[in-house]
Every structure is written in structure tokens, then in C-alpha cells.
Amino acid sequence: MKINRDDGHVELNNPPHFEYGEKVKSLKTIRNDGTFPGKEIGDILVKKGDIGYVTSIGTFLQQFYIYGIEFIEHGYRVGMKGRELESLDYDDSDEEVPQDEPAAALA
């Protein structure tokens, strides 16, 4: 089984995208990969759209941040990558001001 390293992108070169206590929404359905105790491999742990809160921030493969998300409705915590989450507390848009135009010209 090959581990997906996301083409060498290293998130750890930047600070975590989410903060402790931040309210987030799952962008994907997450199934047990065998690391969640008490559930069978393949069981659904989190459905797309489920709401949770960041309770821990760790790392995986010296490349990714893994966010411990407490899903109050389910009563358990699931580790998720940042690309599987969307903030409900902050705007996640990646809009940037073009370098050749002053910010005031965009208003």
C-alpha cells in the first residue's frame, strides 16, 4: 500500500491553518482506516457536513498537520487533515491581491 505524500507538499513549513477551539465543518465523509478503536474498518466516523471543534494539533509523516476534531454530536474525536476541513469561524478563501495592482484599486 502506497502512502499518499501529496506530491511533496510540506504543510509544516507554515503555521497550522486552524486554531485550538476553532469551529470546523467536515468536507469529506471519513471512514475508519483501522486506527479508531471500537469501530470496524470501513465504518463511517464522520459524514460530510458534520460540525466539530479543533481540540489538538499534531503532525504526520513530518509533512502534514493532523487536527484532532471533537464531534460533539457523535461523542468522539477524529484526526483529520486540513484539506478535509473548512473553518466556520473564519473565511477560508484563498483570495490574494494581485501583485501588479494596488489594494485600493480593487475596492
Tell me the per-residue pLDDT of 21-50, one tens digit each, with 9 for 90 and over.
Answer: 999 999 999 999 988 888 999 999 999 999
Distance CA 53, CA 36 (A): 18
pLDDT tens sequence across 39-94: 999 999 999 999 999 999 999 888 889 999 999 988 889 999 999 999 998 875 55
Is 4's pLDDT higher than 80?
Answer: no
pLDDT of residue 101: 43
pTM here is 0.74
Is 103's pLDDT higher than 70?
Answer: no
Distance CA 100, CA 50 (A): 40
Please give the residue that has the higher pLDDT: either 5 or 35. Answer: 35
pLDDT of residue 104: 46
